[in-house]
């Protein structure tokens, strides 16, 4: 089973990213998936967690994820060194940060950074980084195919919102893969 934990703040779209990934894997990736949030009183800016589980067989365990294949951090102020203890052996942390040098002391096989905020601001006009971080996760993991994610996004978004978010995903995905659009 592939287990992903999302760290963000209310309003950044952590749970939406979790749902988009789960729906894409289940509807267009031939997998089983669960996506669920964990948060206290809902308020914009408060720390939130979301979880995605993806497997080839039905998933019965609905508990929060403690040992992760991937930890995705939408707001770098939520990053903590203890996250490394929460990774499985081959796991990775993906952090939204404009300052990759701030993470240079960590094992480069365990942590990746991407400036998702600047791409979101450029394309969406808002610092909502959920789809950018989805693109980064796909580039690092290949959990689902890019075309499956785009089809999954079509189930939740329409019109220019969909087009812009697909552009965000593709820009980050190809940048992290070292390819151009």
Tokens standing for residue 164: 């812009």
Q: Are 78 and 9 in contact (CB under 8 A)?
A: yes
pLDDT at 181: 61
- The residues near 151 (Cβ < 8 Å, ≥ 6 apart) are 24, 27, 28
CA-nearest of 148, 87, 139, 88 to 113 is: 139
The radius of gyration of the chain from alpha carbons, rounded to an integer in Å, stands at 15
The tens-digit pLDDT sequence of the chain (181 residues) is: 999 999 999 888 899 999 999 999 999 999 999 999 886 666 677 888 999 999 999 999 888 888 999 999 999 999 999 999 999 999 999 999 999 999 999 999 999 999 999 999 999 999 999 999 999 999 999 899 999 999 999 999 999 999 999 999 999 999 999 876 6
Burial category of 34 from C-beta neighbours within 10 Å (exposed 0-12, middle 13-18, buried 19 and up): buried
Cα separation, 133 vs 73, whole angstroms:
8
Residue with tokens 């995905």: 173
SS3 content of the chain, % helix, strand, coil (to 5): 45, 25, 35
Tokens standing for residue 1: 């089973």
Report helix, strand or coil for 22. Answer: helix
Cα separation, 4 vs 68, whole angstroms:
6
Give me the domains of the chain, ranges plus CATH numbers. 2-177 (3.40.920.10)
Cα separation, 26 vs 23, whole angstroms:
5
- The residues near 45 (Cβ < 8 Å, ≥ 6 apart) are 9, 10, 11
Report helix, strand or coil for 104. Answer: coil
Tokens standing for residue 58: 């039905």
pLDDT at 126: 93
pLDDT at 84: 97
Report helix, strand or coil for 2. Answer: strand
């Amino acid at each position: 089973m592939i287990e992903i934990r999302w760290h963000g703040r209310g309003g950044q779209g952590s749970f939406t990213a979790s749902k988009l990934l789960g729906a894409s894997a289940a509807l267009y990736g031939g997998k089983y998936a669960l996506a669920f949030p964990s948060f206290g009183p809902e308020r914009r800016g408060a720390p939130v967690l979301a979880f995605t589980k993806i497997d080839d067989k039905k998933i019965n365990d609905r508990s929060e994820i403690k040992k992760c294949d991937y930890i995705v951090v939408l707001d770098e102020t939520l990053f903590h060194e203890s996250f490394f203890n929460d990774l499985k052996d081959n796991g990775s942390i993906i952090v939204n940060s404009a300052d990759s040098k701030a993470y240079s002391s960590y094992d480069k096989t365990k942590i990746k950074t991407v400036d998702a905020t600047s791409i979101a601001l450029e394309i969406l006009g808002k610092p909502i980084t959920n789809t950018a971080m989805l693109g980064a996760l796909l580039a690092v993991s290949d959990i689902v195919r890019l075309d499956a994610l785009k089809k999954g996004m079509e189930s939740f978004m329409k019109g220019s919102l969909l087009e812009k978010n697909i552009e965000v995903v593709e820009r980050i995905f190809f940048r992290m893969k070292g390819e151009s659009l």
